Amino acid sequence: MIELIPAIDVIEGKCVRLSQGDYDRVKEYSASPVDVAKEMEDYGIQRLHVVDLDGAKSKHVVNWRTLEQIATATQMVIDFGGGVKTDDDLRIVFDCGAQMVTGGSIAVKEPDTFQRWLQKYGSERIILGADVKDGQIAVNGWQEDSDSELMSFLKYYIKQGVQKVICTEISRDGMLQGPATFLYKEILAQFPQLYLIASGGVSSMKDIEALAEAKVPGVIFGKALYEGRITFKDIESFLLNSKP
């Protein structure tokens, strides 16, 4: 069964979505991410991906209070990303209720720090973020390209003990044009043991079903839910029908 992981992206404490990571193309969906998370939980969703977009841009955690409010109001398992650059950032995020942290830019720019976190907290709590565009890893809220090629990047960190990866195809993110299923198949063909979480482009339950058929372990989606292309009833039905 594929793990369904809705996303709450936060700017100034509000639930928003960007298109292709462009901060000039932002749409607000709710002034209360907590209310959004509580509704998700009411329909059986147990996992949540929270992204601090202000933090990603500012290079330090900004919306930690929003994380704390969500964690206090729900029992959801939360992974948090965006702006986690230092030991203090990591401590704040865990103290505010995240069970897992996703590190992308830090893994590119400060690999020693990321590897130390991985050793200290383990592969269950530290997720590798692989945000990719044209086969290259992008960093700092997708505002900068890097010299890291996706497959080499994954291979290196899997050797270091990484087990979970969130791979976002930037060109598809927020565009509702379907996920890069071909890319995820390619990744799993090379690294079949990887707990790969697909992100970007999901437009319908059919997209999620296609990823499930491709044996992708997890999927993050956001805009399709907020735009009504995927409903909470759809998710509830999918979860019920997927139970063994």
Domains of the chain by residue range: 3-242
Pairwise CA distance, residues 154 & 165, whole Å: 8
Token pair of 45 as six digits: 């969703």
* Closest listed residue to residue 83, CA positions, set 104, 62, 60: 60
Phi, psi of 173 (to 5 degrees): -65, 125
Arithmetic mean of pLDDT over the chain: 93
- Between residues 21 and 132, which one has the greater pLDDT? 132
> For 163-184, what is each residue's pLDDT tens digit?
999 999 888 877 788 999 999 9
User: Is the Cα torsion angle 177, 79, 124, 135 positive or negative in sign?
Assistant: positive
Helix axes 232-242, 205-213, angle to 10 degrees: 30
Domain 3-242 superfamily per CATH: Aldolase class I (3.20.20.70)
What's the mean pLDDT in 105-131? 96
End-to-end Cα distance, the chain: 9
Cα distance between residue 213 and residue 217, in whole Å: 10
**Residue 143, pLDDT above cutoff 80:** no
pLDDT for 135 equals: 87
pLDDT in tens, 203-233: 999 999 999 999 999 999 999 999 999 999 9
Rounded to two decimals, what is the model's pTM?
0.94
CA 227, CA 222: separation in Å to the nearest integer? Answer: 9
List active site positions: 9, 131
pLDDT of residue 147: 79
Q: Which residue has the higher pLDDT, 240 or 35?
A: 35
- pLDDT class for 128, splitting at 50, 70, 90? very high
